[in-house]
């Protein structure tokens, strides 16, 4: 693999930053082998449209099918481990004066890597919440129902993710927007910049004067507006960046 060289203006901006904000998307998870929603639709799941698997209406009609779909995806997540891109973000959290990590991913790999504060815009596939009360609960270990039932009220549990047609958790989105507005350096990592409202964040950061750095192997709608573009997978670019800025050994 070719070594990634980090341009001097990027090193300067990151080194002088008081508040670094990083937004991550599916690309960094893909590098850990986590398939996208569509890629996970193999075998018996291929016959369904996404809205038959990931909407409140689908859950009301076919709770067992929807729960099993998430069981399947959780099994894929359990086989995955954080990659060097995730680990570089743990180092950044430790080294930056202030650091906010915002993710669109639902797999919890940032926390598994060791990041302590993660704003999960789309929830977390490993968590469950009560369909009726909305509170986060873990199913009882001996619960064999599909879906399992809320230990408090007996209603179905649902995965704590944002389904099609649902709004993002307002407190998480507000915290993400506030951090974005205060950032002096903003990274957009492995995100296609097409799913709103997350896709708006790098543009908001730019309009508030942040130095916006895109880390992506591919061109996105953000590319022409970014202050700098680091072409390549997060697992190569981010460790090279951390080393260039802080002279840290690779994770």
Binding segment (CB under 5 A) for Zn ion, from list 40-48, 56-64, 79-87, 145-153: 145-153
Structure token pair of residue 123: 């929830």
Name the DSSP letter for residue 223: G
Binder of Zn ion out of 153, 194, 195, 218 (CB under 5 A): 153
Measure Cα distances from 133 to 62, 64, 128, 163 in Å.
Answer: 19, 19, 12, 17
Stretch that binds Zn ion, among 89-97, 152-160, 185-193, 233-241 (CB under 5 A): 152-160
Binding to Zn ion (CB under 5 A) within 50-69 occurs at none
For 243: left if phi > 0, alpha if psi spans -120 to 50, otherwise beta; the answer is alpha
Q: How far is the CB of 61 from Zn ion (least distance, A)?
A: 20
Which two tokens mark 139?
């199913």
3-state secondary structure of 214: strand
Binding Zn ion (rule: CB under 5 A), the pick from 12, 71, 133, 166 is 133
Given 88, 130, 161, 229, the residue binding Zn ion (CB under 5 A)? 130
Token pair belonging to 93: 């959290």
Beta carbons of 106 and 161 less than 8 angstroms apart? yes
**Residue 235 to residue 17: CA distance in whole angstroms:** 22
Least separation in angstroms between CB 133 and Zn ion: 4
Judged by CB, which is closer to Zn ion: 51, or 133? 133
Question: Smallest distance, Å, CB 138 to Zn ion?
Answer: 12
Q: Sign of dihedral through CA atoms 161, 158, 63, 39?
A: positive
Binding residue (CB under 5 A) for Zn ion from 40, 126, 150, 198 = 150
Question: Which stretch in 10-18, 50-58, 99-107, 122-130 sits in contact with Zn ion by CB under 5 A?
Answer: 122-130
In DSSP terms, which residues pair with 188 in a beta bridge?
A: 23, 214
List, in sequence order, every residue forming a beta bridge with 23; answer none if it has no partner.
102, 188
Q: Is 19 a catalytic residue?
A: no
Tell me the number of residues near Zn ion by CB under 5 A. Answer: 6
Catalytic one of 86, 117, 122, 152? 122
Smallest distance from the beta carbon of 217 to Zn ion, in angstroms? Answer: 43
Range in contact with Zn ion (rule: CB under 5 A) among 28-36, 112-120, 124-132, 236-244: 124-132
Q: Contact between 157 and Zn ion (CB under 5 A)?
A: no
Q: 126: part of which helix (H) or strand (E)? A: strand 123-130
Q: Of 52 and 143, which CB lies nearer to Zn ion in the complex structure?
A: 143
Q: Give strand pairing partners of 18.
A: none
The smaller minimum CB distance to Zn ion, of residues 130 and 226, is found at 130
Tokens 């072409």 — which residue? 231
Nearer to Zn ion, 82 or 147 (CB): 147
DSSP string, 190-207: S--S-STTGGGHHHHHHH
* Active site positions, annotated: 122
**Which chain residues interact with Zn ion by CB under 5 A?**
130, 133, 150, 152-153, 155
């Amino acid at each position: 693999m070719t070594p990634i060289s980090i341009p001097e203006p990027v090193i300067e901006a990151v080194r002088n930053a008081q508040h670094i904000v990083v937004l991550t998307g599916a690309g960094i998870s893909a590098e850990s082998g986590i398939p996208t929603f569509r890629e996970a639709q193999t075998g018996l799941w291929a016959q369904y449209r996404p809205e038959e698997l990931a909407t409140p209406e689908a859950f009301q009609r076919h709770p067992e099918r929807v729960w099993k779909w998430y069981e399947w995806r959780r099994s894929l997540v359990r086989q995955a481990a954080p990659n060097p891109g995730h680990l570089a973000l743990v180092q950044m959290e430790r080294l930056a004066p202030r650091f906010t990590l915002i993710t669109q991913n639902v797999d919890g790999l940032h926390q598994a890597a060791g990041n302590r504060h993660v704003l999960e815009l789309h929830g977390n596939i490993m968590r469950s919440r009560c369909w009726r009360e909305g509170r986060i609960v873990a199913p009882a270990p001996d619960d064999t129902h599909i879906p399992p039932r809320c230990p408090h009220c007996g209603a179905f549990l649902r995965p704590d993710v944002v389904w099609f047609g649902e709004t993002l958790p307002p407190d998480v989105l507000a915290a993400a927007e506030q951090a974005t507005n205060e950032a002096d350096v903003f990274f957009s990592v492995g995100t296609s910049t097409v799913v709103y409202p997350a896709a708006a964040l790098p543009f908001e950061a730019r309009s508030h004067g942040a130095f916006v750095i895109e880390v992506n192997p591919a061109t996105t709608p953000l590319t022409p507006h970014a202050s700098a573009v680091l072409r390549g997978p997060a697992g190569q670019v981010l460790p090279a960046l951390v080393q260039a800025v802080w002279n840290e050994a690779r994770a």
